[in-house]
A and B are shown apart, each in its own frame.
Chain A
Amino acid sequence: MTNKLLRRSGPPLLAVVLLLVIWELYVKVYQVQAWLLPAPTAIIREALSNWPRVQMHTLATLEIALLGFFLGTAVGLVLAIVLHSLAPLRQALYPLLILSQNIPIIALAPLLVVWFGFGVLPKVLIIALMCFFPILIAALQGLDYPDGAMLDYMRMIGAKPAQIFLKLELPNSLPHVFSGLKVAATYSMMGAVISEWLGAQQGLGVYMRLAASSFRTDRVFVSIFVIVALSLLFFASIVYLERNLIRWNSRREGN
């Protein structure tokens, strides 16, 4: 197991390390100014020396990201089930839902701030708005298209619509839902930073903007590193959850 893990994660890890080494050497050899491009070691040094502040901002971002993610997931799943069961409602709402994804967040965010103030709520709403859509689409796909032979079988032996939903469509949608969750997880971190950009007291988005306006490029990179690390961690925990929940599917997946 550890061997397999090592063999699979070895090459990408090596690529990242190599990239960092090249970066470091380039900065050192060409003596690039720190405000243009700081060396990776300088970035790590800055992160460590400034850790309490970085940690405070990280926790703030993580909080709204998770809140938004869970709200978006809940809305996405409930909507999927409702739209799956009520065809007329689906016809009416589907174009609106797609439209909701075409509104530029940059335009919407200030409005939400006007309506709901500078607190946590408008930010969570932005993140949820970005997260619910991939989950909704994925869940609908899974609910709508179970295997045709299985559906025929269920109907032939006299399964009622509720039984078909609970015993066939719902479990069938689970792997699809997880695909949606993975997309939503990465969206949620991105959404959190964007929403903080548009007005907040704390969070990595704020930290990043302040750092950029005072030419502390090293701090900008610290926040980028933290965001990337958090996104990966979030993604990995969903993959872990998927492996444990959907045991039947794990062997068929290549990633």
Chain B
Amino acid sequence: MLELKRVNMHYKTKEQCIGVLQDISLQVERGEFVAIIGPSGCGKSTLFKLIGGLLTPTAGEVWLDGEEITGKTGHISYVPQHSTLFPWRTVESNAALALEIAGVPKKKALAEVRSWLPRLGLGGYELAYPDALSGGMQQRVSFLRALLSPQELMCLDEPFGALDALTRSEMQQWLLDIWEEHRRTVLLVTHSIEEALLMADRVYVLSPRPARVLAEVPVPFARPRTAATIALPEFVALRQEIHSMLASNKE
């Protein structure tokens, strides 16, 4: 589905050359949930901008479904770190945005959104404006916007990073349930090891800047996963392993 082939990215300033990504290669298969984990500031956001086509890598290629999309926009659906809902749009109209951009008539898009909102615990909020919503609810609208958009690959950029711990774990469980039901192809970037292991089929561990792939870790736990999964001894051991891997690679 998605393949990054030896992607390199560095910024040149007058004095020096700052490496951000170094020889990143990774794949995401259709219907797979893959997480990328790395220390904060390791260039994860740059990675998404490359996949999304906002930036062109210094070297390397991005492929999607057998087509090279290096530097091309419009091939992914996206859940940004902060919800970036449009304040002048109501909840339903925000959630319909990606469908509209894809050319779906507004009426049809809204009808589809309305059928989904109750399932996301947002029934009755159709006509509310985003600033009336809590952070968790805003993020759910942002998620629905991405879920409904026609691109198969969903890129989630630390979607729960700005939420408090309790809301965060609620949202993780909620996302797990939805994903296990629909099995969209997901690439999740996070700096929480627990989040990555709880959700993903496979985890890529990145080093600090310039980011390299330190390891590719398959996550063996059976689905459906719940809060109980986190307490499994295997889960704790794997978390510890990744933790020490990240710790030993600190600059």
CA distance A159 to B77 in the complex (A): 12
Known: A149-B80, A248-B87. A167 touches B129 (CB 8 A): no
Q: Are B54 and A152 in contact (CB under 8 A)?
A: yes
Contact of B75 among A152, A153, A158, A249 (CB under 8 A): A158
Q: Are B78 and A153 in contact (CB under 8 A)?
A: yes
Chain A nearest CB, measured from B145 CB (Å): 9
**Chain B residues numbered 71-91 whose CB sits less than 8 Å from any CB in chain A:** 73-78, 80, 82, 84, 86-89
Name B142's closest neighbour in chain A (CB-CB).
A153
Q: Are A157 and B82 in contact (CB under 8 A)?
A: no
Contact of A156 among B73, B82, B97, B102 (CB under 8 A): B73
Contact of A167 among B73, B76, B97 (CB under 8 A): B97
Q: Are A157 and B88 in contact (CB under 8 A)?
A: no
Q: How many A-B residue pairs have CB under 8 A?
A: 65
Q: Are A248 and B131 in contact (CB under 8 A)?
A: yes
**Chain A residues numbered 219-255 whose CB sits less than 8 Å from any CB in chain B:** 246-249, 251-252
Central interface residue in A149, A157, A163, by most chain B CB within 10 Å: A157
Besides A248-B88, A248-B130, 10 new A-B residue pairs in contact (Cβ under 8 A), listed by A number: A153-B80, A155-B53, A156-B78, A157-B76, A157-B77, A157-B149, A158-B102, A247-B129, A248-B131, A249-B88
Complex interface: chain A residues within 8 A of B88 (CB):
171-172, 174, 246, 248-249
B184 within 8 A of A: no
In the complex, which range does the number of interface residues on chain B fall in? 20 to 34
- List chain B positions with a Cβ less than 8 A from chain A: 49, 52-54, 73-78, 80, 82, 84, 86-89, 97-98, 100-102, 129-131, 149, 151
CA distance A251 to B129 in the complex (A): 11
Chain B nearest CB, measured from A119 CB (Å): 42
On chain A, the number of residues with a Cβ less than 8 Å from chain B's Cβ atoms is: 23
CA distance A249 to B151 in the complex (A): 32
A36 within 8 A of B: no
Q: Are A251 and B131 in contact (CB under 8 A)?
A: yes
CA distance A47 to B183 in the complex (A): 77
Central interface residue in B75, B88, B98, B100, by most chain A CB within 10 Å: B88
Known: A157-B76, A158-B73, A248-B88. A152 touches B131 (CB 8 A): no
